């Protein structure tokens, strides 16, 4: 049984948006690390909620006028919405 092309496109678009969001998070870490002392810099690997909150807090502190975090959140939400839409479309296909 094959999957419909619409499901594949929605899933690929969602994955692409989530990857773009992750690259923006890496860019935020790089910008924050430029302003932090070396002993307080953030690592690029290993994400957990408190680390994500610290990245966001420090980024807003150093770059209060930047919209990079807002764009990252929008990309994340759209990516997950596309993946949920692909799952909903796939469930309709299997009925």
The confidence band for 3, taking pLDDT boundaries of 50, 70 and 90, is confident
Distance CA(75)–CA(69), nearest Å, equals 10
CB atoms within 10 A of CB 51: 13
In angstroms, the Cα distances linking 26 to 11, 18, 56, 65, 93 are 23, 13, 12, 19, 37
Tens digit of each residue's pLDDT (9 = 90 or more) over 37-88: 999 999 999 889 999 899 999 999 999 999 999 999 999 999 999 999 999 9
CB atoms within 10 A of CB 72: 20
For residue 50, the Cα-to-chain-centroid distance in whole angstroms is: 16
- Segments making up each domain of the chain, as ranges: 5-93
pTM of the predicted model as reported, rounded to 2 decimal places: 0.86
């Amino acid at each position: 049984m094959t999957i419909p092309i619409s499901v594949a496109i929605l899933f690929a678009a969602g994955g692409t948006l989530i990857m773009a969001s992750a690259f923006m998070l890496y860019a935020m870490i790089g910008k924050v690390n430029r302003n932090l002392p070396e002993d307080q810099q953030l690592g690029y690997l290993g994400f957990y909620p408190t680390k994500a909150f610290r990245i966001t807090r420090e980024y807003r502190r150093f770059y209060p006028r930047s919209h990079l975090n807002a764009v990252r959140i929008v990309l994340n939400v759209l990516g997950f919405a596309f993946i949920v839409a692909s799952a909903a479309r796939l469930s309709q296909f299997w009925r």
